[in-house]
Amino acid sequence: MTPVPFVMQLLNALAAMLLLLSFAMLAQRRVVTLVDLFALQGAVLCAATLLLAWRTGETNLYISAALTLALKVIVLPRLLHRLIRRLGVYWDTDPLLNIPGTMLVGLMIVVFAFGLAQPISALASTATRSAVGIAVAVILLAFLTMITRRKAMSQVVGFLSMENGLFFGAMSATYGMPMVVELGVALDVLVAMLVLGVFFFQIREQFDSLDLEELEARKEER
């Protein structure tokens, strides 16, 4: 067994942390903690990007690390916290599936993601190719978070976490997306957040709740 350089070990540890945080978000019932976990995931992602930038010497990775820090660790969590305060949604009601069940489904998803990522990482020539599986798993777990929640608020956090996974995947497969795409995605996420913020108020005014079941019920009545 050849010894792995320490930077790569650290990078792998950070990737494992990302996966763990995804599971923590999957199991979390309190919306406030969910947002905190999302911010933490952003911070881990930022650290991983910085580490990779330092190792490969790619300058645009430094920029995307800065972007991650500004957007996902500072701006978005603050926006979300303010929304939570103003809307007064602190708890998600019971998720659609109980927590141990969700965990087991999540585990199966991780196995599936690792299998899915194997051909990709075999083709990739980057030093971080083993992390592609974790990136796919983070994306799918965020999907699962969105699926199992009732409240719009936690679904949005799941959506944002999915973006984290995409970002990490791009980073580990090809050392990041082109700068234009990255800036575009960052702006998209910010705008989406603002639009969704307005949308929340609209939903609440219409249905007196942020429970999206109500929207479905309305559809069936027609």
Sites of contact with other proteins (CB under 8 A): 3-4, 6, 9-10, 12-13, 15-17, 19-20, 23, 27, 99-100, 103-104, 106-107, 110-111, 114, 134
Would you state the structure tokens that stand for residue 191, as one six-digit string?
A: 């705008």
Residue 192 CA to residue 198 CA, distance in Å, equals 10
Measured from the CB atom, the residue of 47 and 99 that comes closer to other proteins is 99
Residue 37 CA to residue 221 CA, distance in Å, equals 37
Question: Least distance to other proteins from the beta carbon of 45, Å?
Answer: 16
The H helix count followed by the E strand count for the chain is 9, 0
- DSSP 8-state code for residue 212: T
Residue 45 CA to residue 192 CA, distance in Å, equals 21
